[in-house]
Chains A and B, each alone.
Chain A
Amino acid sequence: MMSALLRPERRRDALLPLLTVLLVALVLFMGRLEPLFHAAFPQLETAVYARESFWRLTLDHLVLVLVSSLISVSVGVAAGLFVTRRTGREFEPLVSALAAIGQTFPPAAVLAIVVPLAGFGFVPTIVALTLYGLLPVVQNTITGLRTVPADTLEAARGTGMSARQILWRVELPLAMRVIIAGVRVSVIINIGTATIGSTVGAQSLGTPIIAGLVGDNIAYVIQGAVLVGLLAIVSDLAFERLERRYRIGGEASA
């Protein structure tokens, strides 16, 4: 029975290295596919985006996602921690509402507001992505910490652990899985959303997509979109593995 339960996981485990290799190969050798794109779209003058190398675009894309996620996660986890402590309890509705507003505000609208203030390029994109990715982190941090059983906390206090020891030894380890799940959602969303940064001049995998849309070059759009999609799937699988690590001691691995 165990093996039957394990099988889907095993299959996904095999998928991660496979798709990673595919992603890296496409990033490095997209140019080699030119004959293929030519055959598919014979009307196009240039069939592969070449104004910038794909690895450069991918790298810029990743930097956008990493920087914004890092900010989302630190701010989000800190906010989640704060409102689950005794002193911050009253702020929970406020923090949840703010995070929800960040999520419902379309990133394009954020760009429209931030660009006049901060100019074009990297900064407004980071602001938009950070706001957009905040909600899942905040919510999952709160949920994760809230689901730590009350009797476990009572026992922890009863043994004489300090508040800090309870947080680090009991609450965070028990909440970690749910928190990581929130980070996972946030990062995946931002991998997709980072493409719109290219509308305000931040270089990313959205750049060929925008160029393709503007210049009526469907091949550019496909090249950008496929790489963004692959990047999202690979990250998702990697996060899934990470989450599994935080499964609570010896729990059935299905």
Chain B
Amino acid sequence: MIELQGLTKTYGDKTVVSDISLRVERGEFSVLIGPSGCGKSTTLRMINRLIPLTQGRILLGDEDVTRLPAEQLRRRIGYAIQSIGLFPHWTVADNIAVVPNLLKWPRARIASRVDELLDLFHLDAGEFRDKYPHQLSGGQAQRVGVARALAADPEVLLMDEPFGAVDPLTREVLQNEMRRVHEQTGTTVIFVTHDMDEALKLASRIALLDAGRLVQYDRPIELLTAPAESFVSDFIGKADLGLKLLSRRWVHQYQQAATMSSEAPHHWETDAQGHPTCLHGGRPTTDVAPSVAVTDDWTATPGMTMKEALSRMVWYRVGVLPVIDDAGRLVGEVTLEGVMGRQP
């Protein structure tokens, strides 16, 4: 648990962060978001005191860390930034091991922790341990950057637009990975971004800031459905509110049993292993073939957002998607009617 109490930063008579109080529960993924210059990065950097605070208190657990020496505090708080800032003269392993080394962990424990983290990010330890930062792709370097921030099992992980500088495809992959890593490690995260879709995808709580002021701190769904003031809905953007809602809905919430009876308006055909092979019916218009072979592209998985599932339905012109498990077996279906039938 980390709690900010009345965090304030002024430069001369200019107030950039004004009396921000919020509490991030253990294991929560909290996103600070807002237009540029709203003070979100400043707030984040005050937490590990890269920027000294003008006023306020910070509690880590039950401990007031406002007066703790900055270096000691930082070793308890992970920090990942957009530009990554890997140490170019050190190997991947040395980079990850920075904080454990500062904390004087025994060598063997450091080595096994490095391998464990590389493994967590699906980087082959044998291949990557001894590489230098300039030998990594942008996505790999960012993974190492996050691994470094997580190395000493920090009480909080601060991330400052960590995926802002990578290409959209890699960003998507990294976001998915971040969700998985967060679920696996249960680390408390405070994440800064200006991208609402990223916030909706990752956050369990969103703090919306404007001009140094905390406008609303809530679960994403409340931000969408119960904005505290007009600035909130303006910032989220009303145009695709429906799709944004669906980006916080998961396939497993809409999933129903797969229709196998040939009497029904649509039904599935599966092979001996239970993989869906063909859909009969289920097409919303008559200008397309009544039966269609199932390909990997238009299946859904339980962990997929409904936004993506809906997008696939539209693209492949089907009213129903097969939901498959990790082995590719048919475990259910999601339908267009199902999406329409359920609202928050």
List chain A positions with a Cβ less than 8 A from chain B. 149, 151-162, 165, 170, 173-174, 248-251
Question: Is there an interface contact between A152 and B88, defined as CB atoms closer than 8 Å?
Answer: yes
Question: Is there an interface contact between A249 and B90, defined as CB atoms closer than 8 Å?
Answer: yes
Q: How many A-B residue pairs have CB under 8 A?
A: 74
Q: How far is the CB of A126 from chain B (nearest CB, A)?
A: 35
Q: Which residues of A contact B72 (CB under 8 A)?
A: 160
Which chain A residue shows the least CB distance to B88? Answer: A248
Q: Which residues of A contact B81 (CB under 8 A)?
A: 151, 154-155, 158
Q: How far is the CB of A252 from chain B (nearest CB, A)?
A: 9
Question: Is there an interface contact between B102 and A165, defined as CB atoms closer than 8 Å?
Answer: yes
Q: Which residues of A contact B312 (CB under 8 A)?
A: none
Interface centre among A153, A155, A250 (most CB of B within 10 A): A155
Given A152-B87, A165-B102, decide whether A159 and B75 contact each other with a Cβ distance below 8 A. Answer: yes
Given A149-B85, A159-B99, A173-B89, decide whether A154 and B50 contact each other with a Cβ distance below 8 A. Answer: yes
List chain B positions with a Cβ less than 8 A from chain A. 48, 50, 70-75, 79, 81, 83-91, 98-99, 102, 131-135, 145, 148
Which chain A residue shows the least CB distance to B75? Answer: A160
Question: Is there an interface contact between A157 and B88, defined as CB atoms closer than 8 Å?
Answer: no
Q: What does DSSP make chain A's interface, helix, strand, loop or mixed?
A: helix
Given A159-B148, A160-B75, decide whether A151 and B84 contact each other with a Cβ distance below 8 A. Answer: yes
5 other A-B residue contacts (CB within 8 Å) besides A149-B83, A154-B85, A159-B102: A159-B74, A160-B99, A249-B91, A250-B134, A251-B132
Which chain B residue shows the least CB distance to A174? Answer: B89
Q: Which residues of A contact B98 (CB under 8 A)?
A: 159, 161
CB-defined A-B contacts under 8 Å, sample of 14:
A149-B88, A151-B81, A151-B85, A154-B83, A155-B85, A155-B145, A158-B74, A158-B85, A159-B148, A161-B71, A170-B87, A248-B88, A249-B88, A251-B132
Given A154-B85, A248-B89, decide whether A160 and B73 contact each other with a Cβ distance below 8 A. Answer: yes
Which chain B residue shows the least CB distance to A169? Answer: B87
Which chain B residue shows the least CB distance to A170? Answer: B87
Question: Is there an interface contact between B99 and A251, defined as CB atoms closer than 8 Å?
Answer: no
Q: Which residues of B contact A173 (CB under 8 A)?
A: 89
Q: Which residues of B contact A248 (CB under 8 A)?
A: 88-89, 132, 134
Report the separation of the CA atoms of residues A40 and B186 in the bound assembly, to the nearest whole angstrom.
Answer: 86
Which chain A residue shows the least CB distance to B74? Answer: A160
Given A158-B74, A248-B88, A251-B134, decide whether A151 and B79 contact each other with a Cβ distance below 8 A. Answer: no
Contact of B87 among A156, A157, A160, A251 (CB under 8 A): A156
Question: Is there an interface contact between A158 and B89, defined as CB atoms closer than 8 Å?
Answer: no
Given A249-B91, A250-B132, decide whether A160 and B71 contact each other with a Cβ distance below 8 A. Answer: yes
